[in-house]
Every structure is written in C-alpha cells, then in structure tokens.
Structure 1
Amino acid sequence: MRYLRWAAPALVLLAGLALVISGQVIRSGADPADRALTDRAATGRVAEEVGAALGRAFSYSAADSESTRTAARAVFGGAAEEQYRALAEQLTGWVGEQQLTLTSRVVSTGVVHLTGDRAELLVLLDQSARRAAGPPTRTAAQLLVGARLDGGRWLITQLKSL
C-alpha cells in the first residue's frame, strides 16, 4: 500500500520527462526515424556497400577501363550517374593517352543520415595516380554521397566533392 502512494507521482514524473525529451528532439530538428547513430548493422551495411562501390568506380586502368565503367553503371543512379558519366568521359582520354592508372581506396566512411531507404554519407578517399613512366602522385578526396536502397542494394544517387 505504501508503494502505491509513490507509484502515481513516479508515473507522472516519468511521463513528464518523456514529454520533455520528445519535445527537445522535435525542436532540435532531429529526425526520430534517423538510424545513423542507433542502428549499427544498417549503418555498417550502407557504409560498406557505398565505400566498396566508390573504390571500384574511381579506380581506372588503361588496360581495363571497360570493367570500371561496367561496375559504375551498376552502382550509380540519378544525378550521380550523370556526374560520373561526365567524369568518365574526361578520364577516358587521359587514361589512354598517358597510360594512367588511378587507384582509389576508401579510408573512412561515416553515415550522416539514414532513414528508411535513404542515406547520406561522408566518404574519405585516398587516391594514387601513376603514369606509365614516373612515380605515383597521391591525393585525398572528400565526398558527400547520397544513396538510395534499391532492390536490396545501395545505389549512389548524389555526389558532391568537398
């Protein structure tokens, strides 16, 4: 009986606390459906798939540029597909003329937002370019990437160089 006297005020306090917290989430602009920080499996999957796709798509070789284009067609869509196509047209000439090999390796991938079938990622790439004669040139690239889950796989839909 003594516990019942304390139970009602405790429930009211807990309900009030829940309302305050949900109000702060709403005012902060945070999307309660955003799983970027709460769903490790989903963030790991999108980071792995997008990172691997970018590593393949941004690695070129004079000996085998067609396989790069084929791999890219499978992972890009929307605006990113057009951006990649324009970049690939420029690189095709350079790769052949200069016997250029470009290797891109994903150094880090962070999922910024993940809601339903959409994701936004920050991807850091380490790139190494080598001409037929000469030492490699290294550079880093930072990309803001938009992705959409399509048929059970992540499709890159937006690319923005930072």
Structure 2
Amino acid sequence: MSTTRHHINRQRRRQARETRPAAPAGRPQSTSVRTGGRGATAVLTPVGAGPADPPAAGDEKAAPARSRRPAVLVLLCALTVLLGGFAGWAHAEAEGLRSEPARSNTALTDLARTSEIKGQVAKAVDRLFSYDHADPGALDKAARDLLTGKAADQHRDLLADVRARADEQKAVITTTVTESAVERLDGDRARVLVYADQSSVATTGKKAATDKESKTDGAAAQDEGVYAAAMLAVDVVHRDGRWLVSALDTFGR
C-alpha cells in the first residue's frame, strides 16, 4: 500500500513539472523544492539574486557633496575676481577725489577760520548795502575799504539806482545780516552765502490827508517804510589780515 502511494506521488510530481508553464524572460526560476511528509511544497528563490543591499547613508550624502564642490569653487573664484576688481576701482576713485580741488575745501574742518570769515563778511555787507542820504560819503568809504577787484564795479552798478532814489526820497536804507554760511574755504579764498534784512524809510514831503490838515494850510511830512529780505553770495580774499570782498553774486537780480 505504501509503495503504491509513493508511486502515485512521484507520477503527480513528474506531471506537474512537465505541465508547468515556462517562466517568462527576466523572471526568476525556482532552484529548490522541499517536500513534506504528506505532500510536496515548492519554494521559489530567484536565481543569482538575493536581497539588495541598501545604499550606505554616507554614500548618499557624499555624492551630492562631491557634485556641489566644483560649483562652490567656481563661485568663490568669481567672487574673488569681482572683489579684486571693485577694490581696484574704489582705490582709483578715491585717488581721483583726493586730487580734485574740492577736496581742499576746509569750510567744515577749520572752524576758527570759518567763524572769522562769517564775522567780517557780515560787517562788510551791513556797511556796503546801507545808505543814508544825509551821509553819502559813508558808503563811498565802505567801498574803498572793503572791496577789491571786480567787486568795486559790481557794487557801484548795484547801488547806482538805489542811491539815486534814496537821495530823491531822502531815504535811509539799513541792511542787517541775519544768517551766513561759508560754502567754500580754500586757503586765502572763500565763498559765503549771506541772508539779510533790509529796511528803507523815506520822508516824501507829501501832505497828510487828515481832517486836521483840511482846516490848516500847514504841510506834514509822511514817513513810508519798506522792508524786504535779500540773499547774495560773496567771494572774499584774505589780504593784510583782512577778508576783502572780491565778487558779488545777487543770483540774477
């Protein structure tokens, strides 16, 4: 009985092997068959294949790092060239600025000299642009003492019409510098911006139209006051311990 059963089992296994479909290309075939006590059980194992080893963590990190390294080196080289070029350009620009005449301007660094210039220019402008019809010689003396070069002709042209009107109206013109700033100071030459208030008081000799005067024949003098602000630039030069006005700029007026 046992022999007959084993014989039948062998025939079934043989038929199973003969009727089993062939494995497709690329598909693994079984390499071993284990049998149990009562039947046969096939265990398939791919030929020449085993569990794939996972890539090491260090390799995964090293590969991107190696690929990034050349790009970083190229970037650093480019930055080095760029910074080197910028440094050369900056040095050339700095040398150019130092060589310009504007670099010699000491208006903001020489405070003592700047204060001296402002004080003398303020007094000069007060005298040069004030006029009293009763003392015309005072303006002429101020022009002789404080003006030099082309400033003398400029001052005469500016004040010619003013003097004529002041004499006609018997006016007194007063100029007072309210603010000044040294724009440029280069050695013995400077340029000063000046702001001033001007007032003109004239005695016209007109009759005052009042009820009191309509009852009398007397004539009363009427004083007319005019006030204005002025701005000008004054170029000065240092000579014999004083700052003399060498040019006047009234900005087109």
Q: How far off its partner does 1:29 sit?
A: 5.1
Greater strand proportion = 1
Structure 2 SS opposite 1:85: helix
Runs of 4+ with deviation above 3 angstroms? 27-30
Q: Distance in 2 between matches of 1:111 and 1:25?
A: 25
Q: Cα deviations across residues 12-61 of structure 1 (Å, max 9, x unaligned)? A: xxxx9xx96x8178179573321100011100111110110010111101
Q: What is aligned with 1:127?
A: 198
Percent identical: 33
> How many residues end up aligned between the 2 structures?
145
106 and 28 in structure 1: CA distance in 2 versus 1, 3 angstrom threshold: farther
Other structure's SS at 1:87 match: helix
Change (3 A) 1:28 1:143: farther
- Given residue 157 of structure 1, which amino acid in structure 2 is its aligned partner? S
Q: Does 1:35 align with 2:124?
A: no
| Residue 125 (structure 2) aligns with | 54
Quote the Cα distance in structure 2 between the aligned partners of 1:88 and 1:70.
14
Corresponding letter in the other structure for 2:174: T
Paired residue type of 1:156: V
Q: Please list, as runs of the form range in 1=range in 2, the aligned pairs for 1:106-125 lying within 5 A after superposition.
A: 106-125=177-196
Q: Take 1:90 and 1:105, find their aligned partners in 2: how far apart are those partners?
A: 20
Mark the CA change 1:150 to 1:110 in structure 2 (over 3 Å): closer, same or farther: same
Unaligned runs of 5+ in 1: 1-15
**Other structure's SS at 1:77 match:** coil
How far apart, CA to CA, are the structure 2 residues paired with 1:128 and 1:24?
A: 50
**Alignment root-mean-square deviation, CA:** 2.4
Q: Check whether the contact 1:25–1:32 (CA below 8 A) recurs between aligned residues.
A: no
Of residues 150, 167, 179, the one that matches 1:79 is: 150
Cα distance in structure 2, aligned partners of 1:71 and 1:127: 17
What is the TM-score when the length of structure 2 is the normalising length?
0.53
The offset of 1:88, in angstroms, is 3.1
1:102 aligns with 2:173: yes
What TM-score do the two structures reach when normalised by structure 1?
0.80
Alignment pair present for 1:92 and 2:163? yes
Q: In structure 2, what residue type is equivalent to 1:134?
A: D
Q: Runs of 5+ in structure 2 lacking a partner?
A: 1-86, 204-221
* Residue in 2 that maps onto 1:146: 235
CA distance in 2, matches of 1:30, 1:38: 16
Partner of 2:94: 23
